[in-house]
A = this chain, B = another copy of it.
Amino acid sequence: MPYQDKGHLEIEDRGAVLIVRVDGGPHQLFGLDIANKLHKLVTRVDHDPNVRAVVFTGAHPGRFVSHAAVRWLQEEGDAGPRLGRRGAAAAVRVAKYVDRSRVLSALMSRTPMRGALQLEHIHRAFLRMNSSGVLFVAALNGSTLGLGAEFAWACDLRVMADGDFFIGQPEILLGIIPGGGGTQRLTRLIGTHRSLAAILEGKPFTPEEALANGAVDKIVPQDKVVAQAVELAEHFGKRSKASVAAAKRSVYFGGSMSLEEGLHVERAEFFVQVKTPNGQDGMLSYMKTTDVNGELPLYEPDTYAQALASGSVHTPRSTKGR
């Protein structure tokens, strides 16, 4: 029986924040179905000015996502000829361009390139999460490995359940390596060396280890994970959506380039933001308050504290979609 899956995403709409429960069947696996639904969801929320943050959690009681559907990887790996590194690099590059064209994608979807295309599709979903003005929070209600961990690294913040759980990249123990970005995003999250050692050993982190090395941001009791993640989502989600997107792109993409190229990315993003009505309003209001009070608002402790709570230094009003 060829690989089939029936994973789905349960979406709970709480206005500015969506809670998305990943249901990967009895083994809580991340397969093609979830990949496709995730891609659609991420595209939709990125464009919807009303959605400011998304919390991902697992529908399974003790697992966020177990790992990828291994049958899926195995079958796609088995399709088509064995490749050397050069051939593989070429296939991956072709997939990148094909994935952007509906016609080509349809044409290639029944060829041995299908696996490379499906992989590309997941990568594009994760990259869109990194470039989006939506804040993504992983609510790790239990353990997660492999593609589940990579999904968590692609989020902006991570809250993990305390207890006998783990998160990591065990691929080497199956004779493969991470393929959903783990070697790249974990490396940028906790540093080259700790990432390399963890990936080479295949040993996952306990919640305490993950907190200590920065792989997760908070540990809370399991029954508080979603509530804590929603709190973070609401807090960060109050910032201007366009500014969040610009900051995320500057840090994730610019921050991984050479210093001079990265500075170029930042300046372009900054230049757009200072010209938006929202940026202009923010600066004009700041100057006006300075003139009225005789002090810079950010140097008045109460004003700064209120700005952090409301997401904006000027008097709260609707900030939807900005």
Contact = CB atoms under 8 A, between A and B. Distances in A.
Interface stretch (A8-16, A102-110, A222-230, A270-278): A270-278
Oligomer: number of copies: 3
Contact of A272 (B74, B85, B135, B156): B85
Interface of A is mostly: helix
A322 interface: yes
A313 to B, nearest CB: 4
Max chain B Cβ within 10 angstroms of own Cβ: one of A78, A93, A253, A298 = A298
A298 B146 CA distance: 11
Given A196-B252, A296-B67, A266 B83 contact: no
Given A175-B312, A243-B172, A307 B202 contact: yes
A236 interface: yes
A214 B239 contact: no
A47 B257 CA distance: 29
Contacts of A92: 264, 267-268, 271
Interface of A: 27, 63, 66-67, 70-71, 73-74, 76-78, 80, 82-85, 88-89, 91-93, 96, 115-116, 119-120, 123, 127, 130, 135, 143, 145, 156-157, 170-179, 181-185, 187-189, 191-197, 199-203, 214, 217, 235-236, 239-240, 242-244, 246-248, 250-276, 278-284, 286-287, 290, 296, 298-299, 304, 307-308, 311-314, 322
